[in-house]
Structure 1
Amino acid sequence: MKYLFLSLIILVFGCSTRKSDQDDSPKVIVAYVAGWKNIKEEHIPAERITHINYAFAHVDSAGLIVPMEQKHRERDSLNFIKLHSIKERNKDLKILVSIGGWTHSKGFSDAVLTEEGRKKLTQSGIDYLLKHRLDGLDFDWEYPALQGDNNPVRPEDRENFVLMLKGFREALDSLGKVNNTHYLTTIASGGFRKYLEVNNLAEAQKYLDFINIMAYDFYTAGDQKTGHHANLFPNGEKGRSAATTVEEHIEFGVPADKIVLGIPFYGRMWENVNPVSNGLFQAGTYKMGLPFHQIYALSMTSKFKRFWDEKAQAPYLFAAEDSTWITYEDPESIQKKAKFIREKGLKGGMFWEMSEDNTRLLLKALYEGLYPHEVYTERKNEEKIVSLNLN
């Protein structure tokens, strides 16, 4: 009995003093919320997120930051009121507006071309922030110095992008001194190497609190072959992955502790897929994107079978009877990414988009992966309550 007691002491103290190989610093969980969808604040789990990026505002032809659509100006104002109300459940929650996005980045290049234009843009951004009582601004220029969605593009975008961020950072710091507040500046960055090659993120990051990498859409509508669209590690001829784009950002001068890994709460479907290898990396016809809750419902049917790619650390579904294949994220793949975030000392995780998963399974997996100590404490408290009730 004496030796058993000593063994238990050694075990307990050994476990408590062992240095973890993972980063246990507080992590951010950034949730994009689409303004054009029906926002129900009571359905947003504020306790499990740290930031909300409201999508989107845009830069208009006059070089001003304005609502995405003028006819929805009142809707956006009401949505911000809704989002502010959930701070009652999480007083530390930060609310930002995301400016741009894939279809609303056309005004950036013209607006930041001159110093006068940048000052005008900055002032409009400050006005927008103050009007809606925001905690910061997120810039989703897709993409500086690259075409994007048939956008105006110039080589000068590389330098002007940095100058824009510098101007906003200085203006927000000045405002913050008056309000005794630190206002956030963040960006969404491309999850591909070309974006890094044509921009100067080593300089840009100096003016940013963190950088949300859009580490998804590796396979998309333009592909006539199936493949993972958000795999953690590379597999397949493209060689793209979440880990790869993180490594590339670090290579191009972004500190690991400013990187937020983007995670999609949606998947993609192909039809007429060759059944070899259960449809993975096979010829097929792209069909559509799907929110996770629809994919989850399909995964529960007998038609679809789930497979796991060990090399890519990613799941996929295949329905052999009608040759349909789906790439997506599930709780297991997100837990792997949360572990990766902690091991690499990254800032946290981001996801697009809140309404894509009404099961909340994916957010639960991300939260529990990034906040294991809090989850442990919550469970122990629940156990105490159950024990007291039983007694």
Structure 2
Amino acid sequence: MARSILTLAATLLAATLHAQSPQLTAYFPQWGLYNTPQYNVKTLLASGGAEKLDQLNYAQGFVTDGKCSIADPNADLNFTFSADQSVDNIADQPTQPLRGNLNQLIKLKRKYPKLKLIISLEGKGSDFAADAQPDKRAAFVSSCIDIFLKGNLAPGIKAPNLFDGIDVDWEFPHEEDAANFQALLTEFRTQMNAFHPGLRLNIAVGPSPRMYPGTNFTAISGIVDQIGLMTYDMAGPWSKTTGLLAPLSLSQDQHHGSVANTINAYQQAGIPSQKLLMGIPFYGYGWHQVLEDNNGLFQEGEGIRGDRPYSHILTLIEQSTVYRDPTSQAPWLFDGDIFWTYEDPTSIHAKGAYARDHQLGGLMIWELGEDTPSAALLHASWESLNPQTYDPDSTR
């Protein structure tokens, strides 16, 4: 009997520790199909990254005209993958009803049944605001559950139980939307529980709770399972001076925000640490005509339009010098004229350590298609959360 009690206690302790272990979540880009080279589900599998993930957020499902809808029927349902592009090395047949990314996700889930697949709902803030109105929200939520959770993807095309939950990305509710924002999430929770208890309801939020005036985050944290923090874009080409994209903490001269400040602000707003996911960007921003003082950091320059994937920034390193902020561990490139801010394995390891030390829910990656073919940043993200299981002297 004593041995049985000890065994039960050990099992319960192990389960508790597992439940509290930080999770690795990443957004999969629907548009990766059109990248050069193409980024698809097979790419994720071949890189060894799929087995590292706890949750995959599929971006995206659309929010338009009062309902949820398939954002890109070609990418999601119709694209015919060859055997080389397919997760199971079996080519799609042009006559099969369901092809595209969603069929590949079904195959991925067969390989990794513990991987949670979440549909990320994205759209204009004005559409979310309209759909959250009292006379529309129930029907709107019902449409989202019907298409993505019940799997009624299109006439004659069904995929029940593909997605394990919904991620709501409303950017951003105004003060007059605050009550409806909470009510919309409550409606999602109510209908999801009625359909299948245990489904995940998540939200993505901006780098400051001040972007959500009037929102009761204490109440919302009791409704949702995870809150993904978009802890990036602290600086970018919209600014007349260079800065760091997503510094973990502030150096003395940093004039923008920091990841740690964002986390502290949401904790103070009433969200438990275990529900917070720290956002990690897999892209960078640049400026040119940058002054040489301070190796280009916090100097005036002309912003370079758009972001660049980490895979591209790596090609620039030989022509530049890599510098690193000692406070945040954030890197930047500077060649005397052009400045790039980005994340690398060193800065990600620092963030993973912070997430562990502060008992956060984990890390959230935006987005997988911007990584290297070997998924260098994805692997670094996993290693940062699991430091006891990898060899720090290994290289990729």
Q: CA deviation at 1:70?
A: 6.1
Tell me the percent identity.
Answer: 30
1:67 equivalent in structure 2: 70
Between the aligned partners of 2:313 and 2:116, the Cα distance in structure 1 is 30
Encode CA deviations 1:43-65: one digit per residue, 9 max, x unaligned.
2121011111111112212x101
Gaps of 5+ in 2: 1-16, 34-38, 80-97, 152-158
Code of the residue aligned with 1:234 in structure 2: it is: L
Residues 1:122 and 2:141 aligned together? yes
Q: Are the counterparts in 2 of residues 232 and 314 from structure 1 also a CA contact under 8 Å?
A: yes
Paired with 2:193 and 2:323, the residues of 1 have a C-alpha distance of 49
Higher alpha-carbon deviation: 26-35 or 323-332: 26-35
Q: Is the 8 A contact 2:241 2:298 kept in 1?
A: yes
- 1:273 counterpart residue number: 290
Find the counterpart in structure 1 of residue 120 from structure 2.
98
Matched, 1:37 2:32: yes
Amino acid at match of 1:313: Q
**Residue equivalent to 2:380:** 365
Q: How does 1:112-191 map to 2 (within 5 A)?
A: 112-114=132-134, 116-128=135-147, 129-131=149-151, 132=159, 133-145=162-174, 155-177=175-197, 182-191=198-207
- Give the C-alpha shift of residue 254 in structure 1: 0.6
SS in 2 for 1:107: helix
- Per-residue deviation, residues 238-270 of structure 1 (Å, max 9, x unmatched): 341000000000000110000000000000011
1:339 aligns with 2:350: no
Matched, 1:232 2:248: yes
Amino acid corresponding to residue 184 of structure 1 in structure 2: R
TM superposition shift of 1:27: 1.8
TM-score (norm 1): 0.81
1:291 counterpart residue number? 309
CA contact (8 A) 1:218 1:241 kept: yes
The within-5 A match list for 1:201-212 is 201-212=217-228
User: Is the partner of 2:184 in helix, strand or coil?
Assistant: helix
- Between stretches 329-338 and 104-113, larger displacement belongs to 104-113
Partner of 2:329: 313
Query: Is the Cα contact below 8 Å between 1:341 and 1:348 reproduced in 2?
Result: yes
8 Å Cα contact 2:275/2:361 also seen in 1: yes
Query: Which residue type is aligned with residue 167 of structure 2?
Result: D
CA deviation profile, 1:284-327 (whole Å, cap 9, x unmatched): 0011311001111211x1x200001112321111012xx00000
Residue 155 of structure 2 aligns with which residue? none
1:87 counterpart = 2:82: no
**In 1, Cα distance between the equivalents of 2:379 and 2:76?**
33
Instruction: Report SS of the residue matched to 2:32.
Output: coil
TM-score by length of 2: 0.80
CA distance in 2: counterparts of 1:108 and 1:349, whole angstroms: 26
Q: Does structure 1 residue 28 correspond to structure 2 residue 50?
A: no
Residue 51 (structure 1) aligned to one of 37, 49, 55: 55
- The answer on whether the counterparts of 1:193 and 1:248 sit within 8 Å (CA) in structure 2 is yes
The answer to whether the 8 Å contact 1:59/1:106 transfers is: no
| Equivalent residue pairs, number | 334
Once the two structures are TM-superposed, the CA of residue 106 in structure 1 deviates from its matched residue by 3.4
Bigger-Rg structure (1/2)? 1
Q: Distance in 2 between the 1:28 and 1:200 partners?
A: 25
CA contact (8 A) 1:46 1:89 kept: no
Residue 77 of structure 2 contacts residue 103 of structure 2 at CA under 8 Å; is this kept in 1? Answer: no
Amino acid at match of 1:339: A
Q: Check conservation: 2:30, 2:76, Cα contact below 8 A.
A: no
CA distance in 1, matches of 2:75, 2:112: 27
Work out the CA distance in 1 between the residues paired with 2:110 and 2:24.
18
The 3-state SS of whatever aligns with 1:106 is helix
* Distance (whole Å) between structure 1 residues aligned to residue 24 and residue 348 of structure 2: 13
Give the structure 1 partner of residue 91 of structure 2. none
Alpha-carbon RMSD across the aligned residues, in angstroms, is 1.9
Deviations 1:163-212 (A, max 9, x none): 111111111111125xxxx1110010001242244422211111111100
